Amino acid sequence: MQAIDLLVAPRWIVPIEPAGVVLQNHALVVDKGRILALLPLAEATAQYAPRETLTLASHVVMPGLVNAHTHAAMTLLRGIADDLPLMDWLQNHIWPAEGAHVSRQFCVDGVKLAAAELIRGGVTTANDMYFFPDASAEGFTAAGMRSVVNLITLDFPTAWAADADDYIRKGLDVRDALHGNPLVTTIFGPHAPYTVSDAPLRKIRTLANELGIGIHMHVHETAGEVAMAEGQTGMRPWQRLKELELLGPDFVAVHMTQLTDQEIAEAAELGVHVAHCPESNLKLASGFCPVDKLLKAGVNVCIGTDGAASNNDLDLFGELKTAALLAKAVAGDAQALPAHAALHMATLAGARALMLDEQIGSLVAGKQADFIAVDLGALNTQPVYNVLSHLAYAVNSQQVTDVFVAGKPLLKGSVLTTLSIDEVLAKANEWALKIKP
């Protein structure tokens, strides 16, 4: 008998790879933070001597969810301005509030609030674009979550940096300081075509090639933004980014609600990943990402919540349900984005976009033990004919009972183990009193 750290024996296992598979009478074998095996329960109990066994009679175990686009610290601005179009919302509400209040401490406290909500809802990895990326890394690492921290870049000054060169320099310093942290990787985060000029974008492309890290950017979020760029430059932002040679298999384009058929074909040809944020797009009335067309063209599409100021939660199970429903409505086809494909978008597709698919995103031997358990025993998920259907269309994120990252529990029996809810809520209330006394 081989000694192992943990044997997980749930009612069902959804490994995501192979696609659409639901296993019963199987066990997940975890040792030294990694998945050692996924095999029939009888074989597992004959072969391994676990130090701990987690038996979950009414649960499904699946990979942890990957939130492929968020602004975690903005949870502190949740609900501060609603029911407004993007530019009014940004220029007259969000940017002034950020200008007055964003500091390193704001970011640490905001990220911890976000991390608590993300873990509670089954998210194990977040791709986070915000100021003070060092604070983002600190908050997520304290929570035990995996994060992709953005080296954010804009042309204009904020509390974090003075100009584009300063953002890039500070971002690279953060990257150096994070060297050796197994839970954090970095990605360039030029904010959007309308906030970053050509020179820093060229510099980012050169550095991304040298360092082998990706680029993550808001692209074609609204029709207004595309029209404004056409008026100013005679080019659609996509065309400009293409001419700057920014677009490629290391590029994650967020939103992409305004796309011609030619742009969809180019996204596939260039290997660009799309981070789809359906609830933010719906709330800001930004437009509809043509998810079905992108998938049929062969584009890797993943899912993000965007920030809590435009969503207004970080519930990725809710987001993947919205994505599945919206894809059908936009395509005029009930078969568009079936349940297993929506689950793939929220796990392995996100991992792939963030260059983490060799580590996470599916329950495969050798990968990191990032997984969650969801209790399907609740009223809203009974009876169970089809586990994948329930996970996509019926589950409530609060049915997540256990969350592991690299084999360590972050949520155990629905209780957070790495963060104190009382502390997180006390900080959130302190900030709320400062921001809107």
Where along the sequence are the contacts to Zn ion (CB under 5 A)?
306
In terms of CB distance, is 292 or 306 closer to Zn ion?
A: 306
Cβ at position 132, least distance to Zn ion in Å:
16
Contact by Cβ (8 Å): 200, 53: no
The count of C-alpha atoms lying within 13 angstroms of the C-alpha of 409, restricted to the half-sphere facing its C-beta, is 16
Cβ at position 210, least distance to Zn ion in Å:
26
Contact by Cβ (8 Å): 70, 150: no
Number of Cβ within 10 Å of residue 39's Cβ equals 16
Cβ at position 35, least distance to Zn ion in Å:
32
Cβ at position 192, least distance to Zn ion in Å:
9
Site of tokens 């209040």: 101
In terms of CB distance, is 85 or 298 closer to Zn ion?
A: 85
Number of Cβ within 10 Å of residue 262's Cβ equals 9
The one-letter amino acid code at 145 reads M
Cα gap 195→62, rounded to integer Å: 38
Give me the helix-helix angle, 164-177 and 198-211, nearest 10°: 20
Cβ at position 118, least distance to Zn ion in Å:
15
Q: In terms of Cα–Cα distance, which of 326, 339, 325 is closest to 389? A: 339
Q: Is 339 helix (H, G, I), strand (E, B) or coil?
A: helix
In terms of CB distance, is 159 or 192 closer to Zn ion?
A: 192
Cα→Cα distances 78→96, 114, 432, Å: 15, 11, 10
DSSP 368: B
Cβ at position 179, least distance to Zn ion in Å:
27
Cβ at position 303, least distance to Zn ion in Å:
13
Query: Strands, DSSP E only, in 171-257?
Result: 184-190, 215-219, 251-255
In terms of CB distance, is 68 or 387 closer to Zn ion?
A: 68
In terms of CB distance, is 201 or 372 closer to Zn ion?
A: 201
Cβ at position 254, least distance to Zn ion in Å:
6
In terms of CB distance, is 250 or 306 closer to Zn ion?
A: 306
Cα gap 381→37, rounded to integer Å: 28
Q: In the chain, helix, strand, coil percent, each to 5?
A: 45, 25, 35
Site of tokens 């256990």: 402
Determine the residue with CB nearest Zn ion: 306
Cβ at position 102, least distance to Zn ion in Å:
15
378-412 burial: b if 16+ Cβ within 10 Å, else e:
eeebeeeeebbebbbebbebebbbbbbbbbebbbe
In terms of CB distance, is 303 or 339 closer to Zn ion?
A: 303
Cα gap 426→433, rounded to integer Å: 11
The one-letter amino acid code at 146 reads R
Cβ at position 234, least distance to Zn ion in Å:
26
In terms of CB distance, is 225 or 306 closer to Zn ion?
A: 306
